[in-house]
Structure 1
Amino acid sequence: MSVFLRLTFSPGEVRIAVTQDDKLLDYALWRPAAPDGVGDVYWARIATLAHSMGGAFIDLGTGEQGFLPLSSDVTTHTEGQCLAVQVTRAAQGGKGLRLRKLDTPPSPAPDKPGLLSRGPTPLARLAHIFPDAALVADSPESAALIPPTLQPRRSKGFRPWPEAIAHACAALEEPIVTLPGGMQASITPTPALIAIDMDAPPTTTGWSKQTAQFAANRDALPALLHQIRLRNLSGAILIDPAGLAVRKRQALLEPVKAMLQADPLKPRCLGITGLGLIEMVRARIHPSLPELLNAPHGRALAALRTVLAQHPTATQLRCGLALLGALEADPQAVADCMRLRGKPFTLKLDPSLPDLAWIPQSND
């Protein structure tokens, strides 16, 4: 019944799977060159007081700004004032960093705004949640990224992911989720909320249709809620159970609320909407897996993985503008890809390609 934190390396990224008996308990992407900033501490300057919003926009000294809620305290601050802040929510969903003010400023105070300390990495966060888990690296590259404080927990040698774990992690990138009892769920992220539609096969139990559908939804919901955690789906989430009358859906609320207690973010189930949807809220802290995968940096890293695995003779990558920008912003990932494949390649802008498209070319 041992728990493991399994690390597998690819250019620019470490995927971390928390497992027990080949069951996936938790999952995270770690991109060393692109931390999401949560937990970072800055000596910062108030750029603009936003009285109508109850807060201020803060210049972090890195070219980035964040929003600091001040509520009734807003009138005691002035533009240009410096203060210590910490990032509490990553930039996501089109919204910037969210900050909180720290009561104790650094001593002595820095001469100008800038980063004071980094927050925990995804590996450090999962190691804290699972304090008894042993760390398993798949390669020297992933082992080298384990900090000294966690090295005593690392198992000797290198081991790839078990096939079942690799399959479960790959499935997290798909919008269709296979659930117990032959059910499926379709996950659709939108700027405002996450919509999840559950579907069930025709009932063959001999029970009445509503009784069978209730049992199917009840039995499938634990796996669906676990998928929400694995994918870090956050904010407003609406779940449409399969084939149940609205009055029958009320009976799903208590089981759902009980299941949510195992989630470290403690999501809240708000009830059933007038349309019969299960309404829940999960705290937005780190970007969701779909957002990480579909952002330009995520698409760029996916391109490098494909080049490494499928294009050993490519000497050039023709890229759309956004993809090229993402690759140039992470030169270490590009260098890792070249080193692992044992052959260099060049990056070239191709204005005829869509922003996130790319085409490998070879001199052969």
Structure 2
Amino acid sequence: MNAPKPPTREIVIHERIGELRAALFDRDRIVELRLERWSTHESRVRWGQIYAGRVTAIDGRIGGAFVDLGVGEPAFAPFGREREAELRVGAAVAVRIVREAEGGKGPALAYEGLAPQGPCPRLLEDATPWQGWPGEPREADEDEIDRIDAAFEAALHTEVPIAGGGRLTIERTRALTAVDVDSANRETGGTDPARFARGLNLAAVPEIVRQIRLRGLGGLICVDFTGPRRKGDAEALTKALISAFDAEKNGGVAAPKTEVLPVSRFGIAEIARQKRRQALADICLDAAGQPTAETLAIEGINRLATSLKGAKGRTVTLYAPAAPLAFLEADPIGWRQDIADTIGGQFHLRLGRPNQTQCEVVIA
């Protein structure tokens, strides 16, 4: 009897001190990432949740209602040209989260009708961090933890290599995400400029779509391809992009709605992708693109935890820059208690050296 084939897609999760990391594997390759921090688990709403909320204001100019969910920022439920009669100030309504809060904007809602009897506001139906992925999650093994950690780190870098040579540069602004395709040190493709550009651009397409998925990018995304040189090149790129986005829906993945406009004669592709969740960069990086104090602190905590496991009674000291140290000392996520309950051992927190940018651990 033949052994059953392993699943094509798997949800693999790894919870470490301070955050839960989830990865969607497709044929043993990571194609999507999700991140949930302990610090915001109960202080912000999540895509897919359903709440009973209270309507606090109606604004006919923008065709929507503002709703108090009892958590985080006021949320907005559009009602279009005509408003349901029961949708009025003070009404208790059931709403589904269709876009999480981001960039100073509150969550976006879909109106589901009047809320059932009971307290309001309140959570009616929860959603997992891996909402929209097919199947049930399993815990990561040691090799998968390393792969997931590496994928998270790479997804925060601005430059990404293209298979066969070349690179993508991905930069975000308030208005859009810009993706630049550059030949870099690519050698494949021959000496003919037109053939070289076509090969580079087509090779870039799968990685562009993968990076959009990995990073959780949404809104307007503009891709600057190496200029198409021959008739039909722009059409080929457009078809390749559409096909790559269509493929993400296979296997039961609830993919965000995505529209790809025809690639222009200047080699510019415009992609409009539904926003649902916070992008990874919005969670992990500050406005200057540097790791936040919380991001650095969580890395430091987990290095500390690893060191304590092998300290064998010796004292472990975590040296941290000022901002992460302040986060660690305030302990808004209960990391000290978690270490005491699961690992134990003696440790100290100290201010790091001047100009130190990462947390460092010393065992003495």
TM-score category, normalised to shorter length: 0.7 to 0.9
1:44-59 pair list within 5 angstroms: 44-59=53-68
Task: Give the distance between the partners of 1:27 and 1:100, measured in 2 at CA.
Answer: 25
Alignment check: 8 A CA contact 1:85 1:101 kept: yes
Task: Give the distance between the partners of 1:167 and 1:86, measured in 2 at CA.
Answer: 33
2:222 alignment partner, SS class: strand
1:182 alignment partner, SS class: coil
Hey, what does 2:299 align to over in structure 1?
302
Alignment check: 8 A CA contact 1:196 1:238 kept: yes
Alignment check: 8 A CA contact 2:165 2:188 kept: no
Task: Give the distance between the partners of 2:40 and 2:175, measured in 1 at CA.
Answer: 25
Deviations 1:37-63 (A, max 9, x none): 222222222222222221122122335
Instruction: Kindly indicate whether residue 197 of structure 2 is the aligned counterpart of residue 193 of structure 1.
Output: no
Distance 1:220 1:337, change over 3 A: farther
Alignment check: 8 A CA contact 2:317 2:350 kept: no
Aligned length: 332
Task: Give the distance between the partners of 1:279 and 1:326, measured in 2 at CA.
Answer: 45
Hey, what does 2:90 align to over in structure 1?
80
Hey, what does 2:194 align to over in structure 1?
210
Alignment check: 8 A CA contact 1:58 1:65 kept: yes
Hey, what does 1:288 align to over in structure 2?
279
Give ranges in structure 1 of 5+ residues lacking alignment. Answer: 139-157
Alignment check: 8 A CA contact 1:195 1:237 kept: yes
Give me the CA root mean square deviation: 3.7
Deviations 1:119-172 (A, max 9, x none): 32124543xx2x3x7x5424xxxxxxxxxxxxxxxxxxx554176665445422
- Supply the AA of the counterpart residue of 1:256: L
Deviations 1:69-113 (A, max 9, x none): 12233484433333222221101122111112222421x242xx3
Deviation (angstroms), 1:245 = 4.6
Deviation (angstroms), 1:225 = 1.0
- Supply the AA of the counterpart residue of 2:139: A
- Supply the AA of the counterpart residue of 1:228: I
Task: Give the distance between the partners of 1:340 and 1:319, measured in 2 at CA.
Answer: 27
Distance 1:345 1:72, change over 3 A: farther
Distance 1:23 1:40, change over 3 A: closer
Task: Give the distance between the partners of 2:319 and 2:115, measured in 1 at CA.
Answer: 49
Task: Give the distance between the partners of 1:326 and 1:96, measured in 2 at CA.
Answer: 30
Task: Give the distance between the partners of 2:192 and 2:97, measured in 1 at CA.
Answer: 52
Hey, what does 1:330 align to over in structure 2?
333
Task: Give identity over the alignment, percent.
Answer: 24
Alignment check: 8 A CA contact 1:203 1:213 kept: no
Deviations 1:255-301 (A, max 9, x none): 21111102322411022357531100111001112222226554543
1:125-144 pair list within 5 angstroms: 125-126=132-133, 129=134, 131=135, 135-138=137-140
- Supply the AA of the counterpart residue of 2:71: T
Give ranges in structure 2 of 5+ residues lacking alignment. Answer: 249-254, 287-291, 309-314
Deviation (angstroms), 1:336 = 2.9
Picking from 72, 86, 101, the partner of 1:91 is: 101
TM-score by length of 2: 0.76
Alignment check: 8 A CA contact 1:188 1:196 kept: yes
Hey, what does 2:47 align to over in structure 1?
38
Distance 1:315 1:90, change over 3 A: same
Hey, what does 1:251 align to over in structure 2?
236
1:39 alignment partner, SS class: coil
Distance 1:183 1:321, change over 3 A: closer
